[in-house]
Structure formats: structure tokens, C-alpha cells
């Protein structure tokens, strides 16, 4: 693994910069409504009618079909006081081979007091030679709740492709009232294939995912989280812990399909346990 990684590479002149920002709040009747929306190509935000008993949803769409070297996505979701909203991408995000510049995805999540915000991921698929820097920054007010995650696939296994070279840097930070609760950085660079295969690295795992629940009551749901993970298939390694009021669940697998199923089962069951919401994921998520 290389010692120095430049995160400020010059962007190609034709690189895309897409922005999608949504804010939800409650009206005088206590119903969650969209308060603010900003979007620019290649990002669009859709608002499907939620099924009966489900909370409002915002669906982020990347109309370009994937990211190439130097492309930037800036995504933001905010739930104001007492608002409840589910945000998720329409499809898996593809990161194509880069000639040099890294793609960047910046995610900003904000949950105010009494709010419930879900940031439900789909696969981010890195082609061999892809370069991606992703930052997820979350701010939770006292009394706010955030359930968020990410899911990454290293290479296109169905095509026999492995991720041999490129860059993946995935940074997380979660704060409450400006105080850092949890920070995490995962980085692959240089001899990626060797790191993936090494027993002290990923031990052959090419699919990995994280789910975090940041809330005042996060510690109360550790047993529930571990119970949900017990049903994960043997092909998936998974575990959960609580750090500074943030519940963190991790998933690793050599094959993305069982990991995706285990992640979906965990997410559906956890949202029901923590918020009393339907134990289901949107139909678009399964397509």
C-alpha cells in the first residue's frame, strides 16, 4: 500500500460535477414534506409515492450511468425537526477505469432533533483501474436518529474481473453537536489484489458493506443488531459493535450476492426494531 495519496488531483476539463440536495421538514399537521431541493446534471432526485405505512422517500439518480476520472458527485440529505425520510440511489453506481484523476463522492447527512433519516446504499462497483475518494459526513442533533450505510464491490466478478490496481479511499465522520463521535478511513491503493487476498487484509473478500446507527439510544439496539446478523449465510462475515453512541455493523464476502441479501435482511429488521417502520426495502432497491 502506497504511503502517500493525493486527494487534490487536477480534474479533466470535461469532468462532470453533479449536485443533489434535499431537505425535509414537517408541516403544521406534523406531516413530513419536502422543503428544499437543488439538483444539477448528472444528478436528479425523484420522489416516488411511498407504500402505505412507509415514510416519504427521495431517490437519487445519476443520469450519466457511472463516473469516470475526475467526476464529482455532491449529495446531501437533511431531515429537520421531527421529519422522517428515506433516501437511496436508484441503481448501483459504477466507477470506471481512470487514466489518472480520481472520482469523488461527497455525502452530507444532517438529522435534527426528533428526526429519522435513512441513507440506504446500493452497490458502488469499482472497475479495475478505477479511482474513487468518497467522504460521508454526518451531523446528528440530540434526539435525532440516522441509519446510514455504504456497500462496495471490488471488480466485476461476473465478468471474471478482479480489482488489481486503482484507488479506493472511503472516509466517514459522525458528529453530535459538533463533537466527533466516530471516524473511519478505509483505503486500498497500490498492490490492491495482494491486499484483497492476504489473510491480514480482506482474506479474499471483494464485497464489503457498513451500516451505522447514530442516535441517543444506539447502545440499546446492539443485541437486536447482533441477533439479525446471526441469520447471515456462512459466506458472509459480519459483526456489530457500539462506539461512542454509534452502532456499527460490518459485512464482508467474496461474492456480492449473499452480502447484498444479508445486508438487506439486516437493514429491514433493524429499521423495524429501532423505529417501528416496515421491515422491508423499496422495490427499486431489489432491481
Structure confidence at residue 96 (pLDDT):
94
pTM of the prediction? 0.94
Q: CA distances (Å), 24 to each of 37, 87, 89, 272, in order?
A: 9, 11, 17, 21
Beta carbons of 117 and 77 less than 8 angstroms apart:
yes
Structure confidence at residue 3 (pLDDT):
40
* Boundaries of every domain in the chain: 17-210
| Rounded Cα–Cα distance for residues 53 and 45 (Å) | 22
Q: What is the pLDDT along the chain (287 residues), one digit of tens a residue?
A: 344 444 445 677 678 899 999 999 999 999 999 999 999 999 999 999 999 999 999 999 999 989 998 999 999 999 999 999 999 999 999 999 998 899 999 999 999 999 999 999 999 999 999 999 999 999 999 999 999 999 999 998 767 777 888 999 999 999 999 999 999 999 999 889 999 999 999 999 999 999 999 999 999 999 999 999 999 999 999 999 999 999 999 999 999 999 999 999 999 999 999 999 999 999 888 76
Structure confidence at residue 162 (pLDDT):
79
Q: CA distances (Å), 171 to each of 70, 89, 204, 271, in order?
A: 18, 19, 22, 24
Contacts of 187 (CB under 8 A, 6+ apart): 1, 5, 168, 169, 170
Q: CA distances (Å), 281 to each of 114, 174, 189, 224, 268, in order?
A: 22, 24, 33, 18, 6
Structure confidence at residue 10 (pLDDT):
64
Amino acid at each position: 500500500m502506497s504511503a502517500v495519496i493525493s486527494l487534490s488531483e487536477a480534474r479533466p476539463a470535461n469532468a462532470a460535477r453533479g449536485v443533489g440536495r434535499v431537505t425535509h421538514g414537517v408541516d403544521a399537521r406534523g406531516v413530513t414534506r419536502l422543503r428544499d431541493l437543488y439538483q444539477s446534471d448528472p444528478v436528479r432526485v425523484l420522489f416516488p409515492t411511498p407504500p402505505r405505512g412507509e415514510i416519504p422517500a427521495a431517490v437519487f439518480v445519476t443520469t450519466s450511468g457511472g463516473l469516470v476520472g475526475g467526476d464529482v458527485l455532491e449529495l446531501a440529505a437533511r431531515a429537520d425537526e421531527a421529519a422522517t425520510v428515506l433516501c437511496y440511489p436508484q441503481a448501483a453506481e459504477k466507477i470506471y477505469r481512470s487514466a489518472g484523476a480520481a472520482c469523488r463522492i461527497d455525502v452530507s447527512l444532517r438529522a435534527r432533533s426528533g428526526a429519522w433519516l435513512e441513507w440506504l446504499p446500493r452497490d458502488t462497483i469499482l472497475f479495475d483501474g478505477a479511482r474513487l475518494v468518497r467522504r460521508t459526513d454526518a451531523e446528528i442533533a440530540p434526539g435525532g436518529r440516522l441509519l446510514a450505510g455504504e456497500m462496495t464491490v471490488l471488480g466485476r466478478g461476473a465478468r471474471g474481473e478482479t480489482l488489481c490496481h486503482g484507488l479506493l479511499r472511503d472516509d466517514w465522520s459522525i458528529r453530535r453537536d459538533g463533537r466527533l463521535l466516530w471516524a473511519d478511513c478505509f483505503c486500498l491503493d497500490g498492490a490492491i489484489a495482494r491486499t484483497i487476498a492476504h489473510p491480514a487484509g480482506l482474506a479474499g473478500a471483494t464485497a464489503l458493506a457498513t451500516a451505522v446507527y447514530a442516535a441517543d439510544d444506539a447502545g440499546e439496539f446492539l443485541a437486536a443488531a447482533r441477533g439479525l446478523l446471526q441469520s447471515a449465510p456462512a459466506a458472509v462475515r459480519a459483526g456489530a459493535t457500539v462506539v461512542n453512541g454509534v452502532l456499527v455493523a460490518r459485512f464482508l464476502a467474496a461474492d456480492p450476492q449473499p452480502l447484498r441479501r444479508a445486508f438487506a435482511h439486516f437493514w429491514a429488521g433493524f429499521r423495524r426494531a429501532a423505529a417501528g417502520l416496515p421491515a422491508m426495502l423499496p422495490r427499486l432497491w431489489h432491481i
